[in-house]
Amino acid sequence: MAATATIVTAETAPAPAKARRGIPLLRSGKALTGVVIFGIFILLAVIGPWIAPDDPSQTGGPVLQSPSGAHLLGTTQSGQDVLSQVLTGARTSMLVGVVAATLATALAVLIGVTAGYVGGWTDDILSMLTNIFLVIPALPLTIVLTGYLEGGGWFPIAVVISVTGWAFGARLQRAQTLSLRNRDYIKAARAVGERPWRIVTVELVPNLGAIIISGFLFTFIFAILTEASLSFLGLGSMTTWSWGTTLYWAQNSSAFTTGAWWWYVPPGLCIALVGASLSLINFGADELMNPRLAPVAKRNRKARRAQRRQAAAAGAAGKEATP
């Protein structure tokens, strides 16, 4: 009887749930929406200048023409095609975001993790440096620094933005490193003689993934907004087209007061959509790395589905056990 019961139990045990395939981040509706929108703009940044119908600086077309079949986003006061300006400017704006976010994130990781892990006078000096950059207003400092880089293109602007945008991420990573450096697995790594650089790169940094990703996305948004602000104020690079440059010429030609909405709405909408997409990706990443942040309704649906599966498995087992 014991052998029979064991066989029945083994046969009626519910099969383990299949592992879900695919990228975990894309299972979140918010993150998937953000990735799709952001991917579209990445594609536009790559192919935008090639598919632009005209040279964005070419003049001689119809003046201040509203959107039509010949000019899908209308024309400027000089007869320039707005669609060409938006498509060409996508590359510059996205490049500024990528370069500035990458450099700022690298600085934040280097300074924040070093300060938190090493401690002592190194922590004091790096923390003081971080606090100085946190206190100084970013936009005025960026304006002052870019004043010395006139005519240098978009890359110096991206470098200046990264220099002014790393401190907040470094502060967060230092705090997280302080909470991790005395964990048991870090002490065990020290005890077996692991070198400090290996402990930092293999044990610490991977556990800072959520903060690093969040900092990168935040700095990306900050970089695009800062570049657009500088260009709008006439302090950016006027040698290359960006969304901020288009807004500058629209404002300079009184498009806001003459009702030429097709001149300033498209670049402004592009900036807003990129920011919204990165925010959605950040929300999805937070929910993935911390399930407690998931919406209550979503957690309740998962709990009900789990209960139904358990009830179905128990019912099937009871039917097979009944003679």
What confidence tens digit (pLDDT) does each residue in 115-135 have? 999 988 999 999 999 999 998
Encoded tokens for 283: 């929300």
pLDDT at 109: 94
Q: What span, in angstroms and rounded, lies between the C-alpha atoms of 110 and 129?
A: 13
**Residue-wise pLDDT tens digits, 210-262:** 889 889 999 999 999 999 998 888 887 777 899 999 999 999 888 888 889 99
Distance CA 265, CA 92 (A): 18
pLDDT single digits (tens) 75-112? 998 889 999 999 999 999 999 999 999 999 999 999 99
Q: Alpha helices, DSSP H only, in 181-295?
A: 184-191, 196-198, 209-232, 243-252, 255-258, 261-289
Top-confidence range, 14-18, 38-42, 257-261, 288-292: 38-42
Q: How far apart are CA 165 and CA 174, in angstroms?
A: 16
pLDDT of 311 higher than 80: no
CATH dotted code for 26-52+80-291: 1.10.3720.10
The confidence score (pLDDT) of residue 291 equals: 58
Take residue 188 and report the two structure tokens written for it: 């065990």
The rounded distance, in Å, linking the Cα atoms of 6 and 291 is 37
If pLDDT is split at 50, 70 and 90, which confidence band does 154 have?
A: confident
Q: Which amino acid is at 112?
A: G
> Per-residue confidence at 156, pLDDT binned at 50, 70, 90?
confident
Q: What percent of the chain has pLDDT over 70?
A: 80
- Which range (1-10, 17-26, 266-275) has the least confidence? 1-10
CB count within 10 Å of CB 238 equals 14
- Using alpha carbons, select from 62, 108, 114 the residue that is nearest to residue 262: 62
- If pLDDT is split at 50, 70 and 90, which confidence band does 320 have? low
